[in-house]
Structure 1
Amino acid sequence: MRDVAALAGVSLKTVSRVVNAEAGVSTDVRTRVERAIGQLGYQHNLAASNLRRANARTGTVGVLLQDVSNSFSASLLRSLEDAARARDVAILASSLDEEAERERTLVGSLVRRRVDGLVLMPATHVQDYLADELRSGLPVVFVDRTPHGIDADSVTVDNRGGAVTGTAHLIDQGHRRIAYLGDLPTIETAAARLAGFRQAHAAAGLEVDPRLEVSGLRSEEAARASVTALLALDEPPTALFAARNSLAIGAVQALRAQGRTRDIALVGFDDFPLADVLDPALTVLRQNVRRIGAEVARMLFARLDGDDSPPRHVVIEPVLVVRGSGEIKP
């Protein structure tokens, strides 16, 4: 900055005002400084600049999701990026893969890097290890899953209610043997969706065959194998409820391999790219990912701007999108 100031014939403070886009600099002086910056190849050291400020902001936010390659997480991350870009904030993102120790390690790494805030889709069951950080003023917003052991802002989806809606839709089509494909039952969202699946059956006066409830599925391949096994039962299901987008993809693959895509009804929880161009197109419970991301960003940046009101918990309802696969009769 001293070299820029000397070349432009201005004070160090004037250079600082130009690089920080502050007012109080004439057009002529600003042009001279910018020309000197270009000649010298000067790059503003934002980290050093932030350390000199009273609030010691780093202009970074940590975002820890379960799997950034998953379409839900990827869309959520993009929504957060759009909001952060408008404030010239960089996002540091990583996947947790449902590993509690990985979560604690990555959170610790981000905190040591002094991120200004944290967005967390937790893999841990209790997050009281964050209590000290919350007390010290680190804004933390939970997404997709609610906090436990601490109270912090959160944006979640009505997973149980969505599963009730999706399962009831299949029951309304006349199905009585509906198979459930779900993730690990220890995951909060998966447990809620399984509860909703059972609730819809109970509301209709139906019992669920335990053989038709398959949990612990972590991949498309696992879902594909499970559907193949379910269809080989002496009393196979006439419909499938896939409680995660990757599991719905595996189910479609299994049905297609057996030429059964128009025989077995299928409803998935979470939309994904090209779900609407399958044959038949996939009926899904769509989460409004853009709205979820916008709510998370609004909460986080409000805290960074000084909002010290009690934590808020926003719950967003998923929407049933009828496309054809969920309307196949038994």
Structure 2
Amino acid sequence: MKDVAARAGVGLKTVSRVVNGEPGVTPDTERRVQEAIEALGFRRNDSARVLRKGRTASVGLVLEDLADPFYGPLNRAVEEVARAHGALLINGSSAEDPEREQELALALCARRVDGLIVIPAGDDHRYLEPEIKAGVATVFVDRPAGKIEADTVLTDSFGGARAGTAHLLAHGHRRVGFIGDQPRIHTSVERLRGYHAAMADAGIAVRDEWVSLGSTAPERVTEAVAAMLSGPEPVTALFAGNNRVTVTAVRALSGREHPVALVGFDDIELADLLGITVIAQDAAALGRTAAELLFRRLDGAADEPARVELETVLIPRGSGEVPPSAVR
């Protein structure tokens, strides 16, 4: 650092301010310091910084599945906010396994991350209470924490599913099927609740055979679609509970002589070209909002845990507008 200061013709404190992004440095001085840093190949000593400030400038993100397209924009948004705050993002997948979620979250805490953003796989997060009390800022996103009070950022799954089902009903459908994720997952339960609310609003009693919850594995979803479309009174429309269900439903419905109306929760790649009507949620906004809330806590905000709920958007593209008379 002394060499950088000498080359730029400034004091050590000025170099420190530039390196740590602190105010009080003129643009011209900052430019000279940055040029000296580049010329000398200077790298900040983060270990010393940790000892001095008690923070590691790193945050952890526990996702469900990094391979799921929904989590890509969310992950990127968290990373961008972290970068803007001079922090490194470390992430990992729970694979929807509560034990793996706990193992990963505690491993990140053991590596002294300053904060955690968690997409819950389990429904009991009391294991994080000691970490939170020790100062690890924690925000839950997409699903709420279980058995503890904590900052939470969600999508309005209930309202979105209600709007999507109502859209199918508005186009004349009365036999609407719902295919969702596992019943222990918060978003799955909320979307099923929204479906039931829309059906009740229309005065329609939901039959047991119109609802299927379970794994999003293609085999299971394909079987559910086939079952709902068989029998003397098949459904004339389907509401798919998430992006993975929607993709399999599109495949299962392809090649049919008569189309089946379909609305999916979550936008999917090529949905605009395929004409798939969706209830879209903003995954990037979820990640950005959660990360901004996390860094607000790290900056000292001590108010009561916040619950932020983001709205969804209905995007009609054709599949949800197929009339029941076209279905056989």
TM-score between the two structures when normalised by the length of structure 2: 0.88
Deviations 1:246-278 (A, max 9, x none): 101100001114354xx2000001112211110
- Cα distance in structure 2, aligned partners of 1:244 and 1:28: 49
Task: Give secondary structure in 2 for the equivalent of 1:292.
Answer: helix
Read off the aligned partner of 2:104 and give its amino acid letter: L
The corresponding residue for 2:52 is: 53
- Cα distance in structure 1, aligned partners of 2:206 and 2:60: 42
Residues 1:68 and 2:62 are matched in the alignment: no
- Cα distance in structure 2, aligned partners of 1:210 and 1:154: 33
Could you tell me how far 1:82 is from its partner in structure 2? 1.7
Read off the aligned partner of 1:37 and give its amino acid letter: L
The corresponding residue for 2:277 is: 283
Answer with 212-221 or 124-133: which moved more.
212-221
The corresponding residue for 1:197 is: 195
Could you tell me how far 1:292 is from its partner in structure 2? 1.9
Residues 1:309 and 2:312 are matched in the alignment: no
Residues paired across the two proteins, number = 320
- Cα distance in structure 2, aligned partners of 1:13 and 1:313: 43
Question: Structure 2: where are the runs of 5+ without partners?
Answer: none
Task: Give secondary structure in 1 for the equivalent of 2:222.
Answer: helix
Task: Tell me if the contact between 2:118 and 2:140 (Cα under 8 Å) persists in the aligned partners.
Answer: yes
- Cα distance in structure 1, aligned partners of 2:168 and 2:80: 37
Q: CA, structure 1 residues 21+33, in 2 after alignment: closer, same or farther (shift >3 Å)? A: farther
- Cα distance in structure 2, aligned partners of 1:158 and 1:33: 50
- Cα distance in structure 2, aligned partners of 1:36 and 1:94: 36
Could you tell me how far 1:222 is from its partner in structure 2? 2.9
The corresponding residue for 1:182 is: 180
Residues 1:328 and 2:293 are matched in the alignment: no
**Any residues of structure 2 matched to 1:89-238 within 5 Å, and which?**
89-238=87-236
Read off the aligned partner of 2:269 and give its amino acid letter: P
- Cα distance in structure 2, aligned partners of 1:125 and 1:317: 24
Task: Give secondary structure in 2 for the equivalent of 1:162.
Answer: helix
Could you tell me how far 1:57 is from its partner in structure 2? 1.2
- Cα distance in structure 2, aligned partners of 1:21 and 1:287: 34
Q: CA, structure 1 residues 127+31, in 2 after alignment: closer, same or farther (shift >3 Å)? A: closer
Read off the aligned partner of 2:181 and give its amino acid letter: D
Could you tell me how far 1:104 is from its partner in structure 2? 0.7
Q: CA, structure 1 residues 19+288, in 2 after alignment: closer, same or farther (shift >3 Å)? A: closer
Task: Tell me if the contact between 2:14 and 2:25 (Cα under 8 Å) persists in the aligned partners.
Answer: no
- Cα distance in structure 2, aligned partners of 1:275 and 1:32: 47
Q: Equivalent of 2:264, from 264, 268, 271? A: 268
Task: Tell me if the contact between 1:266 and 1:326 (Cα under 8 Å) persists in the aligned partners.
Answer: yes
- Cα distance in structure 1, aligned partners of 2:233 and 2:172: 16
Read off the aligned partner of 2:273 and give its amino acid letter: V
Task: Tell me if the contact between 1:57 and 1:116 (Cα under 8 Å) persists in the aligned partners.
Answer: yes
- Cα distance in structure 1, aligned partners of 2:189 and 2:31: 64
- Cα distance in structure 2, aligned partners of 1:210 and 1:65: 32
Question: Structure 1: where are the runs of 5+ without partners?
Answer: none
- Cα distance in structure 2, aligned partners of 1:81 and 1:145: 20
Deviations 1:190-249 (A, max 9, x none): 011111111211221111121121110323443233213332333221100001011011
Could you tell me how far 1:294 is from its partner in structure 2? 2.4
The corresponding residue for 1:246 is: 244
Counting aligned pairs with the same residue, the percent is 40
Q: Equivalent of 2:40, from 37, 46, 53? A: 37
- Cα distance in structure 2, aligned partners of 1:27 and 1:94: 36
Task: Tell me if the contact between 1:222 and 1:250 (Cα under 8 Å) persists in the aligned partners.
Answer: no
Q: CA, structure 1 residues 138+199, in 2 after alignment: closer, same or farther (shift >3 Å)? A: same
The corresponding residue for 1:295 is: 289
Task: Tell me if the contact between 1:15 and 1:33 (Cα under 8 Å) persists in the aligned partners.
Answer: no
Answer with 26-35 or 165-174: which moved more.
26-35
Could you tell me how far 1:49 is from its partner in structure 2? 2.4
Task: Give secondary structure in 1 for the equivalent of 2:65.
Answer: coil
TM-score between the two structures when normalised by the length of structure 1: 0.87
